Structure 1
Amino acid sequence: MNTTQSILENAKQSILSQSESISKLTHYLNEDFVKTVQLIYESKGRLVVTGIGKSAIIAQKIVATLNSTGTPSIFLHAAEAIHGDLGMIQSGDLVLCISKSGNSPEIKVLAPIIKSFGTTLIGMTANPTSFLATSSDLVLLAHVDAECCPLGLAPTNSTTAQLVLGDAIAVCLMQLRNFQAEDFAKYHPGGALGKKLLLRVKDMLDNTHTPQVAPNASIKKVIMEISEKRLGVTAVVDNNEVIGIITDGDIRRMLTDRETFSDLTAQDIMTKNPKSINSTVLVSEALDVLEDYKITQLMVIDNGTYKGVLHLHDILKEGIV
């Protein structure tokens, strides 16, 4: 077997081994898992997630997922916990302790202290007879038959199992909370989804660039306005009412069709009744309008008052698409 084939074969075996370990987790789901989810859901405090080594890294990811889906959580490193950080645990908090063996020295010190606080301890371990398992109020079994590491030493299948169990808890909590995309957006206002669900047209308008000309404006004035405001368009406004729109495409077509334009004004080449939108509309909805009509600009009009231009390029810059 050549090097390429060997690498691909090893990769496939690793993926298959981990997928098989994950699928077997369904056999270990029991009443303790249900009680864990219910306790977290009903808790008035936070979920403190702790661990050591690779399990600590998994704990941090679980905390990030829970926080982003509406469950207040904090990470507590097991080694730091027994050197002063136990003060992070407050009355009403729950503690989820993650350890493959359940017998590491830090866990043996930490578990009894947490219990002495009167705090509910949830243990996630691969070993149901471990110190952690026997010390916990509830046990989540993240058992794997073996690691996919060729030496059987590096945490691979076991940490994947921990991660998947953490995700399962998060998903169950989301369903109990009836957590919607809008809720997710509140915790991710800077992300693409957050912008899609929260950003409104008024948030994107540049009030210093509201191109407009009068109906009797010369073509030269129209071209200068489009060039100066750099939106590729200008509104034609009469008595504060938008009566038309002129795009740079209209200008090019006019120059193609005519030898001279000295006798023309804005109203001669404008498109009447341009597509418009209210400034309070979500940008994602405005994008739908742009796509439906295959246009790149929308006039923004509130109660008959011209507010500006929303351009497709501005939406693309925000990463909403």
Structure 2
Amino acid sequence: MTLDQDKTKQIHSIGQRVLQSEADALRDFAQSLPENFDRAVELMMNAKGRIILAGIGKSGHIGRKISSTLASTGTPSFFVHPSEASHGDLGMVRPEDVCILISNSGETSELGDVIAHTRRFAIPMIAITKKPDSTLAKSADVVLLLPDVPEACLIGMAPTTSTTLSLALGDALAVALMELRDFQPENFRTYHPGGKLGAQLTKVSQLMHEGDAVPIVPSHATMQDTILVMTSKGFGIAGVVDEGKLLGVVSDGDLRRNMEDLMGRTAGEVATRSPVTISADSLAEEALLTMNTKEIGALLVVSDSGAPIGVLNIHDCLRAGVA
């Protein structure tokens, strides 16, 4: 079916209205953060166990996402389906845990057994709800109230704005914990080893060649020996060292630039001094950028003292998905 111009305009208008409605709600929510937000973060921060999320329907989907975000940013967490909880999964929820229960109305019957379990075993419980006088809110240790704003649909019943606010609130909790714990990129990669994100956070130390694979010659080495090392190691370069520190690098370009009487000179005489290097703690993405910018195929990795400890070439980065 081909839409006419009027129908297309109507569709665009609906899309814009929904996005604007939810954006306005989020903007107002940011200006009036739940007054117990800090208490909720403190409770989660001090938890000796996990953060358990539970909810039904759309609130359940939001709970799963919040739990996933928490777990991937350094806060152990998992989602428990309330119905499954009533048939044995409550055994997963321990006194050292903290529960976050989500219900817009605060009267979701399926949450009843989870609420009772938290009260019976004194398990700290945080409620995310719109209704301050609801069963859920009255039972909770900490209540995070959602603003009483209309849903984005015209009939005002489909969970839209309310779920957006719940999701954003969960993100705010997760990021607050993440920053308070000084969660770093290397920690993030620990929980995201696969895919593009994991590749981008790979460190040079994880990809570099070490030990005998590193092409190194002393500054007094003959060019015959230097070329032999360059060829046998397969990186197209040789690091030139003096008293254990990197003095320079001999590359294929250096060989071409010094063809005249090349074999009568030493590695130290031919080498390019103060070469481009990288540290083992740098991200592989930074190494790739350096190689592309400098138009070189390999980098020597040096320690804080200037000693060559590894070598990385552009193909190592590409094979690891760093691009």
TM-score for the superposition, normalised by structure 1:
0.76
AA at the equivalent of 1:282? D
Asked if residue 8 in structure 1 is aligned to residue 12 in structure 2, the reply is yes
Question: Closer, same or farther in 2 for the Cα pair 1:6/1:227, shift >3 Å?
Answer: farther
> Could you say which residue in structure 2 is the equivalent of 1:22?
26
AA at the equivalent of 1:81? A
Equivalent-residue separation in structure 1 for 2:245 and 2:115 (angstroms):
71
Equivalent-residue separation in structure 2 for 1:186 and 1:270 (angstroms):
41
Asked if residue 166 in structure 1 is aligned to residue 170 in structure 2, the reply is yes
What is the aligned counterpart of 1:118 among 122, 128, 152?
122
> Could you say which residue in structure 2 is the equivalent of 1:270?
270
Superimposed CA distance per residue, residues 45-95 of structure 1 (whole angstroms, 9 cap, x where no aligned partner): 332111112211211221222233333322211111111100011122221
> Could you say which residue in structure 1 is the equivalent of 2:143?
139
> Could you say which residue in structure 1 is the equivalent of 2:84?
80
CA RMSD across the alignment: 4.1
Equivalent-residue separation in structure 2 for 1:18 and 1:293 (angstroms):
43
Q: Contact 1:97/1:123 (CA < 8 Å) preserved in 2?
A: yes
Q: Which moved more, 1:164-173 or 1:306-315?
A: 306-315
What is the aligned counterpart of 1:130 among 130, 134, 140?
134
- SS across alignment from 1:25: helix
Equivalent-residue separation in structure 2 for 1:313 and 1:288 (angstroms):
9
Q: Contact 2:248/2:275 (CA < 8 Å) preserved in 1?
A: no
- SS across alignment from 1:283: coil
Equivalent-residue separation in structure 1 for 2:211 and 2:243 (angstroms):
19
- The alpha-carbon deviation at position 305 of structure 1 amounts to 6.6
Give unpaired runs (5+ residues) of structure 1.
none
Q: Contact 1:28/1:141 (CA < 8 Å) preserved in 2?
A: no
- The alpha-carbon deviation at position 284 of structure 1 amounts to 3.7
Equivalent-residue separation in structure 1 for 2:96 and 2:35 (angstroms):
22
AA at the equivalent of 1:91? P
Q: Contact 1:276/1:301 (CA < 8 Å) preserved in 2?
A: no
Equivalent-residue separation in structure 2 for 1:201 and 1:11 (angstroms):
47
> Could you say which residue in structure 2 is the equivalent of 1:216?
222
AA at the equivalent of 2:282? V
Give unpaired runs (5+ residues) of structure 2.
none
Equivalent-residue separation in structure 2 for 1:43 and 1:304 (angstroms):
44
TM-score for the superposition, normalised by structure 2:
0.75
Question: Closer, same or farther in 2 for the Cα pair 1:178/1:95, shift >3 Å?
Answer: closer
- The alpha-carbon deviation at position 317 of structure 1 amounts to 5.0
- The alpha-carbon deviation at position 97 of structure 1 amounts to 0.5
Work out the percentage of aligned pairs sharing the same amino acid. 34
Superimposed CA distance per residue, residues 10-63 of structure 1 (whole angstroms, 9 cap, x where no aligned partner): 222221111112223246644433322222223333321111122112112212
Superimposed CA distance per residue, residues 236-278 of structure 1 (whole angstroms, 9 cap, x where no aligned partner): 5799886653323334556xxx7xx7x6326488324352758
- The alpha-carbon deviation at position 235 of structure 1 amounts to 3.7
Equivalent-residue separation in structure 1 for 2:45 and 2:246 (angstroms):
53
- SS across alignment from 1:101: coil
Equivalent-residue separation in structure 2 for 1:118 and 1:217 (angstroms):
76
AA at the equivalent of 2:311? V
